[in-house]
Structure 1
């Protein structure tokens, strides 16, 4: 019974966290126009 109670409390906490993050929304700002480098750049030509 303790495990069931702990699982229910954990599920409720996770659900509350998701709802809070959803309510707050995304932060304001802009993304960089420069692409991210995913490889080591080679010699410049």
Structure 2
């Protein structure tokens, strides 16, 4: 029974965190026009 209560409390806390982040939304800003490097640059020829 204690495990069930603990699981319910944990689930409620996780959902509260998800809903809080969803309500706040993403910060305003712009994406960088420069592409990200996905590989390590090799030696220059």
TM-score for the superposition, normalised by structure 2: 0.87
Which sections of structure 2, spanning at least 5 residues, go unmatched?
none
Figure out how many residues of one structure are paired with residues of the other and give that number: 44
TM-score for the superposition, normalised by structure 1: 0.87
Which whole-Å CA distance do the structure 1 matches of 2:22 and 2:2 have between them? 30
**Root mean square deviation of aligned Cα:** 1.2
